[in-house]
Chain A
Amino acid sequence: MEDKCCCNGNLTEAKEVVAEIGGTKDRIIPLLQEIQRRRGYLAEDLVNAVAEVTGIKPAEFFSVGTFYSQFRFTPLGKNIVKMCKGTACFVAGADPLIEAAESYLGIKSGQTTPDGLFTLEIVSCLGCCSLAPVVMINGKVYGKMTRTRLTQLLEEYRK
């Protein structure tokens, strides 16, 4: 039988995480980053189990987790679409692009489509200002984006 904590978290996995990262308070952010790396989001059961292993209260983990924008509490979609809204992209017309993506996918930014295919995010700068406006899909940057090309691209990723 698997080693479970009081709230059904997987203690074996939690021990692995803590062994790898460390279990002191100054390691809370790296611990959360590791949980997110493993599960794609901050799965409550694993956060609780890690809290139990480290002896740090779960509230401290959630307090830190909710503060930083990197952390998410819901699973990601299959394709991650990051719309850059840095200043250069904004000046080059990021807003109409974001609207086009939202209307094509039928979701608002920060959400995942019901079929789990796409997660749409707005990011503040991808640092590719020379290619503005920029969209990043699954880690690949597409520059000089137009609304027509964006919908074509999303169509391709849907397949």
Chain B
Amino acid sequence: MNTDIIVGLGSCGIASGAQEVYDYFEKNLDTSIALKKTSCIGICFQEPIVEVVAGGVKTVFGKVDVAFAEKILDGVKSGKLPEANRIFEDEGTNSFVGPQVKIALKNCGKIDPENIEDYIATGGYEGIRKALTMTGDQVIDLLKESGLKGRGGAGFLTGQKWAFLKGAKGDKKYLVCNADEGDPGAFMDRAILEGDPHSVVEGMLIGAWATGADEGYIYCRAEYPLALKRLKIAIAEAEKRNLLGKNILGSGKNFVLHVKEGAGAFVCGEETALIASIEGKRGMPHLRPPFPAESGVNSKPTNINNVETYANVPRILVSGAASFNKYSYGQSFGTKVFALAGKVKRVGLVEVPMGLTIREIVEKIGGGSSTGLPLKAVQMGGPAGGCIPESLFDTPIDYASIGATGAIMGSGGMIVMDSSSCMVDVAKYFLQFTQAESCGKCTFCRIGTKRMMEILERITQGQGTMEDLALLEELADVVGKSSLCGLGQLAPNPVKTTLRYFKDEYIAHIKDKKCPAGVCKSLITIDIEKDKCKGCTACSKACPVQAITGSVKKPHVIDPAKCVRCKMCIEKCKFGAIRVI
């Protein structure tokens, strides 16, 4: 009887200890059992994940450490697998998986990403074979019919974008994949590159056939070493099989694909900056027009799509436009991948059909608040996006509906916040990020965000005035209108949305000198409740500035003049006697 043991080795799995588990199996397996690896299946809260396939029966175990791996191995040998840690017998996992529809992530966590055979066995490279029987225009029409829009955030119709490149003059054209996933809190593209790199290669190949491009670049951030490694393996394997290179599959079509490592600049997510970076320059954006479709890499016509967009393409070719656009809401079609994280019980990578509501994602898939505190907002779209309050959680996943809230669909970061997050602090966090990443070209982005930052700092330090608030709103408006690229245009979004939905928190900081969430240090006091304190001295030992005094078994007190509000004492107190007021 054949038995396979498959270990999930994505970045997050490895971070949770999956490599040690894999190494353990490698050392202790005999030849009757095949050890395989796969990538992230998206169920991050259960990592490391091990799958056992014995006699055609699949059992998936979660939270596997080396000790449990030993039990699994004993079970495989004795024919009686452990009953514990079976994730698909767990209600939580099923609620997590239930509402999802996997198109872009179809293969993630299922195939060995370093083995082209695995990809081909699931119907891989059938898409390009089909495309080769069609004309470029037919492929473009199919994509238009599917309704696929750019998954990088802007949501431009992909088929239309391809048509621009096809129609552009010139015999040299480039295709670029933007894999410079820079939003903090987003890891969708990384999961696809690590888990199913061939889907991106094939998507680009189909694009090359449709548009007439003969050279391509995948621009991937250097911070993703595993994704880079697997991409390079995928390209080398595809070249060996004549799926890349010259006269692909005897069609006469040539397509050369390169991997370009980014060097850490958020602004390179902007297409004109990305092109400058590919050319070896500082990644600074330029004015459009000319659009890349006219003048891109080396001043030649160029088309840029992101990872998730390309990964969807082969599936649309194989299964048809209707299999994709049957999931729809308004003018949004198909599915969207989100990296669900923050204060929810189940975090991970989720792919949902358009039209599912934020509430369904947060409460059904995510399982609601992980802390017991009420949920307050989700942040979508990263530093260019915004905070959507709990009252709007019934908003469906749809480009227009999300846009109407002031946030953006974005590339897929979805961070859930509970009442312990201060929204002024959150706005400051994102602005700090964009301010540091501004390339400095446009005055309003360079200096305007700096001034906005100073105002936010004043407010969180309790020195803000109501005039500051008006100035902040004015600046947010001007910075957005006067910046050349998406980074500057959208940089004020986190401030704008928090001002729109959480203005009372700003006012509390300014007028009452209070931080309602108890975050901003200048506005809080740490206090020990006399009745609850047992005098165990744990807090005074933990205090880095000796601000806590008191004798053993007697209530302790904090000297507010000395206290630096690091909350170390709160972490140490076993009796819940220390609170923020």
Contacts and interface: CB of A to CB of B under 8 A. Distances in A.
Interface of A: 24-30, 32-33, 63-64, 67-71, 85-88, 90-92, 96, 99-100, 103, 123-132, 134, 141, 143, 146-148
6 contacts: A70-B222, A91-B421, A125-B185, A129-B44, A129-B185, A148-B571
A68 B341 contact: no
B342 interface: yes
Interface in B267-288: 277-284
Nearest to A86: B184
B544 A27 contact: no
B210 interface: no
Contacts of B260: 29
Nearest to A56: B280
Contact of A88 (B261, B415, B567): B415
Interface string B38-66: 00000011010000000000000000000
Contacts of A148: 571
**Interface core residue of A24, A88, A90, A146 (most chain B CB under 10 Å):** A88
Interface in B308-350: 339, 341-343, 347-348
A147 B571 contact: yes
A88 B14 contact: no
Contact of B282 (A67, A91, A146, A147): A67
A131 B439 CA distance: 31
Contacts of B283: 67-68
Given A70-B263, A71-B263, A129-B185, A64 B571 contact: no
B224 interface: yes
A54 to B, nearest CB: 11
A45 B380 CA distance: 45
Contacts of A33: 222, 261, 263
B278 A130 contact: no
B370 to A, nearest CB: 10
**Interface core residue of A30, A67, A96, A123 (most chain B CB under 10 Å):** A67
B68 interface: no
A87 B277 contact: no
Q: Which 9 A-B pairs have the closest CB atoms?
A: A87-B185, A130-B44, A68-B263, A141-B15, A86-B184, A129-B341, A69-B264, A88-B341, A127-B187
A91 B277 CA distance: 32
Interface string B1-17: 00000000001101110
A127 B342 contact: no
A94 to B, nearest CB: 9
Contact of B415 (A67, A91, A127): A91
Interface string B255-268: 00000111111100
A128 B15 contact: yes
Grouping DSSP codes into helix (H, G, I), strand (E, B) and loop, the A interface class, with mixed when no group exceeds half, is helix
A135 to B, nearest CB: 11
Contact of A127 (B224, B347, B568): B224
Interface of B: 11-12, 14-16, 44-45, 47, 182-187, 190, 222-224, 260-266, 277-284, 339, 341-343, 347-348, 379, 382, 413, 415, 417, 421, 429, 433, 439, 544, 566-568, 571
A28 B347 CA distance: 40
Nearest to B224: A127
B9 to A, nearest CB: 13
Contacts of A88: 185, 341-342, 347, 415
Contacts of A87: 183-185, 341-342, 379, 382, 413, 415, 429
Contacts of B567: 96
B571 A127 contact: no
A14 B567 CA distance: 52
A3 B568 CA distance: 57
Contacts of A86: 184-185
B264 A70 contact: yes
B421 to A, nearest CB: 6
Given A26-B279, A70-B222, A130 B184 contact: no
A32 B186 CA distance: 27
Contacts of A25: 279-280
A68 B567 CA distance: 36
B309 to A, nearest CB: 19
B15 A131 contact: yes
Given A29-B263, A124-B182, A147-B571, A99 B566 contact: yes
A129 B187 contact: yes
Contacts of A126: 15, 223
A134 B184 contact: no
A28 B377 CA distance: 43
Contact of A63 (B45, B224, B263, B282): B282
A132 B348 CA distance: 12
A85 B184 contact: yes
Contacts of B224: 127
B11 A128 contact: yes
Given A28-B280, A70-B262, A143-B16, 16 more contacts: A26-B279, A68-B264, A70-B264, A86-B184, A91-B421, A123-B223, A125-B185, A125-B187, A127-B186, A128-B11, A128-B15, A129-B12, A129-B44, A130-B47, A132-B341, A141-B15
Given A25-B280, A91-B342, A123-B223, A131 B184 contact: no
Contacts of B277: 29
Contacts of A141: 14-15
A134 B15 contact: yes
A147 B184 contact: no
B454 to A, nearest CB: 19
B280 A29 contact: yes
A129 B415 CA distance: 9
A86 B383 CA distance: 11
